[in-house]
């Protein structure tokens, strides 16, 4: 058993290394590129504002950096829809689409080759104007779609996040899924490493954007893969190389508790 664990550690370390740049990617073979983003699956669309000036409580970047830390306790105050819109824009906002035959999105975070292989799902408990439930961010149009309402969401999310009740009860919890083939199409065997690096860029932007509007954030890497995927409607069955999508990272967000 111990030897098996050691072998897994070694395999994991290999992902962190530079790999074989001579492997021909699907892009090099002329395979059509995958979609830039998942399409909407419902007609329950909420349009989001990009007028963010009024929600910023701190625009001193040095202060934001110094104050950044993980916070698991949140005030009872609701986030406004504009505050949530700002956090979504800061983490996956599309500034513009470029290219003709080979398109790419330029976003508020960097991504290897501008592949941006992530989708953002939200478990909303306390955001003004939004029903309690699970949402999907439509990055290309800067909109939310309500996937479902769920009165028992807090318990389900807490269980999926291995008993971390702060995540289940947070005003909003972000869950990022990865669509690996968006990166694999260009980078083949190196795509997994690049995608995981990209995930770090996204969550750090959430931390900094949260600080700028008086919110605390806590990144979450411990979760039950099957339960979390099931909650956001992803299949655990491997269907095809192109259609694979699964949870890879998460974070809880809420208003900071006022210090006396």
Question: pLDDT (tens digit, 9 = 90+) per residue, 117-162?
Answer: 999 999 999 999 999 999 999 999 999 999 999 999 999 999 999 9
Mean pLDDT in runs of 10 for the chain (260 residues)?
83 81 88 93 95 92 96 97 98 96 94 97 98 98 97 97 98 98 93 96 98 98 97 79 88 88
Q: Is residue 95 part of a domain?
A: yes
Residue 242: what pLDDT?
Answer: 67
Q: Domain count for the chain, please give it.
A: 1
With beta carbons less than 8 A apart as the criterion, state whether 129 and 191 touch. no
Backbone angles phi, psi at 245, to 5 degrees: -155, 135
Instruction: Enter the tokens of residue 238.
Output: 């491997």
Q: Whats the size of the chain, residue-wise?
A: 260
Q: Is residue 27 part of a domain?
A: no
CATH code for the domain of 101? 3.40.109.10
DSSP the chain: -HHHHHHHHHHHHHHHS---TTSPPTTTTTPPPPPSSPPP--S-EEE-----GGG-S---HHHHHHH--B---B-SPPBPHHHHHHHHHHHH-EEEEE-SSS-EEEESS--GGG---EEEEEEESSBTT--SEEEEEETTTTEEEEEEE-TTHHHHHHHHTTT-HHHHHSSEEEEEEE-THHHHHHHGGGHHHHHHHHHHHHHHHHHHHHHHTTEEEEEE----HHHHHHHTT--SS---TTT--EEEEEEEEEEBPPP-
Give me the residue label for tokens 């104007």: 129
Residue 195: what pLDDT?
Answer: 96
Q: Is residue 233 part of a domain?
A: yes
Q: Is residue 38 part of a domain?
A: no
Q: Is residue 98 part of a domain?
A: yes
Q: Is residue 14 part of a domain?
A: no
Q: Is residue 191 part of a domain?
A: yes
Question: Domain range for residue 74?
Answer: 44-255
Cβ neighbors of 103 (< 8 A, separation 6 or more) are 33, 36, 97
Q: Is residue 80 part of a domain?
A: yes
Residue 225: what pLDDT?
Answer: 97
Instruction: Enter the tokens of residue 144.
Output: 């939310």
Q: How far apart are CA 7 and CA 9, in angstroms?
A: 5
Q: How far apart are CA 208 and CA 63, in angstroms?
A: 10
Angle, CA 247 vertex, CA 231 and CA 205 arms, to 5°: 115
Residue 239: what pLDDT?
Answer: 62
Residue 63 CA, chain-centre distance (Å), reads 25
Nearest CA-CA partner of 254 in 176, 175, 170: 170
């Amino acid at each position: 058993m111990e030897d098996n664990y050691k072998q897994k550690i070694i395999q994991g370390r290999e992902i962190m290394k530079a790999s074989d740049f001579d492997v021909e990617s699907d892009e090099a073979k002329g395979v059509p590129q995958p979609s830039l983003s998942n399409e909407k699956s419902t007609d329950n669309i909420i349009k989001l504002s990009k007028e963010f000036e009024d929600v910023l409580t701190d625009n001193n970047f040095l202060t934001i950096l110094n104050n950044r830390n993980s916070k698991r306790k949140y005030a009872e105050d609701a986030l406004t829809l504009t505050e949530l819109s700002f956090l979504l824009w800061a983490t996956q906002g599309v500034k513009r689409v470029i290219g003709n035959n080979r398109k790419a999105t330029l976003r508020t975070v960097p991504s290897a080759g501008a592949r941006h292989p992530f989708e953002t799902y939200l478990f909303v408990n306390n955001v003004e104007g939004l029903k309690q439930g699970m949402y999907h961010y439509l990055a290309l149009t800067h909109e939310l779609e309500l996937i479902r309402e769920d009165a028992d969401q807090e318990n389900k999310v807490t269980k999926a996040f291995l008993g971390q009740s702060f995540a289940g009860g947070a005003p909003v919890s972000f869950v990022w899924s990865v669509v690996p083939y968006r990166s694999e199409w260009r980078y083949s065997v190196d795509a997994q490493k690049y995608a995981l690096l990209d995930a770090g860029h996204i969550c750090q932007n959430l931390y900094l954007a949260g600080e700028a509007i008086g919110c605390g954030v806590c990144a979450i890497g411990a979760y039950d893969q099957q339960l979390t995927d099931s909650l956001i409607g992803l299949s655990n069955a491997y269907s095809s190389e192109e259609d694979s999508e699964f949870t890879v990272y998460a974070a809880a967000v809420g208003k900071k508790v006022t210090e006396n």
